[in-house]
Amino acid sequence: MIMDRRLALKTVTAVVGVIASISLVKYLKPVRLKSHRHSVKLANFQPLIANIAETIIPRTDSPGAIDAGVADCVVKLIGDCESREVQQSFVDWLKRVERDSEKKYGRPFSSCDYPQRAAILIRYEHNDEQNSLFRKLRLRVLGMDGMELMKKYTIISYCTSMEGATQALAYDYVPGVYQPCLAMEAGQKCWATN
């Protein structure tokens, strides 16, 4: 039990960094509030994230991003796996998407039709090649921008979800064999895992 509490404490302090404290109660209170407020902040954008994700990966004959619960996963992954600064820049980008939508179409992103949504997002795409020097420099200096983060985490969340992996991709839980060169069948999906 002592171990559990120690671990829990470590986890909580981990969220906000080390804060000097006088008593345990005082120590925990601001931490909880702060971390709570923080996670709410990103989660507030969940509906917008869901709509953007569905624009990137729409439902077709296979599940779309919303079917696969991508938005919750994107919120969790960006919230836990990216730095505060990156999270902030992501939130800023989400706000910019809304502003763009209002400016261009006079309505929020969620009220736009599919072509309008796609048009808004496409403007954020970069055309530099993955291995180009320009891209490397841009990433080193500026880091990934909002659209890149959004696409990255949408793809990860979708392709590792049960819906995405088993219905849009080919998921082979226990292959049992290795067959090195097979003639590809029509409509062959990409394997979900390496």
Give the total of residues touching other proteins (CB under 8 A).
57
Q: Is 188 in the site for other proteins (CB under 8 A)?
A: yes
Pick 134 or 191: Cβ nearer other proteins: 191
Here's the x/- map for other proteins, 47-86, by CB under 8 A: it reads as --------xxxx-x-x----------x--xx--xxxx---
- The residues, ordered by sequence, that sit 6+ positions from 193 with a Cβ below 8 Å of its Cβ are 165, 171, 172
Please identify, using beta-carbon distances, which residue of 19 and 81 lies nearer to other proteins: 81
Q: The dihedral of CA 118, 123, 124, 129: what is its sign?
A: positive
Instruction: Give the C-alpha distances (Å, rounded to integers) separating 97 from 38, 85, 91, 147, 182.
Output: 21, 19, 10, 10, 44
- Compute the least distance from the CB of residue 169 to other proteins, in Å: 6
Distances (CA, A) of 112 to 37, 108, 146: 30, 7, 20
Among 15, 28, 43, 66, binds other proteins (CB under 8 A): 15
Q: Does 89 bind other proteins (CB under 8 A)?
A: no
Encoded amino acid at 154, one letter: T
Phi, psi of 85 (to 5 degrees): -65, -45
How buried is 167 (Cβ within 10 angstroms: 0-12 exposed, 13-18 middle, 19+ buried)?
middle
- Cα separation, 63 vs 69, in Å, equals 10
Least distance in Å: CB of 187 to other proteins? 8
Binders of other proteins in range 23-52 (CB under 8 A) = none
Contact 175, 88 (CB under 8 A): no
190 touches other proteins (CB under 8 A): yes
Within 137-166, the residues that bind other proteins by CB under 8 A are 148, 151-152, 155-157, 159-162, 165
Q: How far is residue 69's CA from residue 152's CA, in Å, rounded to a whole number?
A: 15
Which is closer to other proteins, CB of 23 or CB of 127?
A: 127
The residue (of 1 and 22) whose beta carbon lies closer to other proteins is 1
Residues binding other proteins (CB under 8 A): 14-15, 55-58, 60, 62, 73, 76-77, 80-83, 114, 118, 121-122, 125, 127, 130-131, 148, 151-152, 155-157, 159-162, 165, 168-169, 171-184, 188-194
